[in-house]
Amino acid sequence: MLAALARDLRVQPAPWISPVPLRPGMLGLPDTVSTCLFDLDDVLTDSGVAHATAWAAVFDELLQRIGERTGWQPHPFDRESDYRAYMDGRPRLEGIHAFLDSRGIRLPEGRPQDPAGADTAYGLAKRKSDALARELRRRGVTAVPGARRYLEAAGHAGLRRGVISASTRTSAMLELAGLESLVEAHVDGDVIAGEGLHSRPAPDVLLAACRRLGVPPGDAVSFTHIPAGIAAARAAGVMVVGLGDEEQGEVLRGFGAERVVHSLTSLLDARLVQGGCG
């Protein structure tokens, strides 16, 4: 009946109803878990690609100008290795300084009022925001395969769902990916700045998410793809599941992940995957 109503109302995607009663064990979790905390980038959505592309546009233009002025050309920004090492999961200003330090470059912090054209950390942050907006208009953001089904299954199992991201555009990205209605709370760049939270590997963002969802850290599980996320979960007393390929998995295990999987889908009971897993 719900499927028929969704067709009549042209609701997309159609709501999914579990074929069996759900409990956490069917999501690959201990029955003591009450809350799931997900990284946004590369766990729920492909937004990491948009972030890396935007940062590359900003940094490569800066590095080229520095090279023309000094005669020394720093290595350009690598969208995979540099993004993961210096930007992924970090607030913008912190990531900017970390990347520039790796190239032996220092820029002043500047002020929040700095225009996008200023060669300050705040100026670069605004340039990145503009570049990201262009990238989102160009390619959008989509949910990682299996992310929607896992979020739906978690909701049917009575689990609370939160999202962790250093981006100030977390809500917009969840909406673009069609996942916003499946999340009860998120801790993003605005919350991190507003509450003066330390970024991961400090436990602050995970503890803040638990507070917003009204649950003790010991009842939560974090799903993350970065070593800093593993370290933060361990420090917060939160169970952690790492997501990555075989090579990434070895690194995540080394940082203390209790379990590493290739995707959220691989955690689901087979009966919950049948009929497609968007």
- Per-residue pLDDT at 32: 95
CA 67 to chain centre: 33
pLDDT at 9: 65
Q: What is the pLDDT of residue 275?
A: 57
Scan for tokens 């999914």, then name that residue.
16
Q: Cα–Cα distance between 58 and 134 in angstroms, integer?
A: 12
What confidence score (pLDDT) does residue 273 get?
85
Sequence-distant (≥ 6) Cβ neighbours of residue 113 within 8 angstroms: 122
Q: Is the dihedral of CA 264, 162, 29, 154 positive or negative?
A: negative
Give the number of other Cβ atoms within 10 Å of residue 207's Cβ. 19
Output the tens digit of pLDDT for each of the chain's 278 residues: 666 665 666 656 666 777 788 999 999 999 999 999 999 999 999 999 999 999 999 999 999 999 999 999 899 999 999 999 999 989 999 999 999 999 999 999 999 999 999 999 999 999 999 999 999 999 899 999 999 999 999 999 999 999 999 999 999 999 999 999 999 999 999 999 999 999 999 999 999 999 999 999 999 999 999 999 999 999 999 999 999 988 888 999 999 998 999 999 999 999 898 655 55
Catalytic residue among 39, 46, 82, 114: 39
- What pLDDT does residue 246 have? 87
41 a catalytic residue: yes
HEC sequence for 82-131: HHHHHHCCCCHHHHHHHHHHHCCCCCCCCCCCCCCCCCCHHHHHHHHHHH
Tabulate helix, strand, coil % of the chain (nearest 5).
Answer: 50, 10, 40
pLDDT of residue 3: 63
Active site residue 119: no
Annotated catalytic residue, options 31, 41, 114, 269: 41
Nearest to 236 by CA among 194, 182, 197, 189: 197
Cβ proximity of 225 and 39 under 8 Å? yes
Is the link from the previous residue into 203 a cis peptide, with omega within 30 of 0? Answer: no
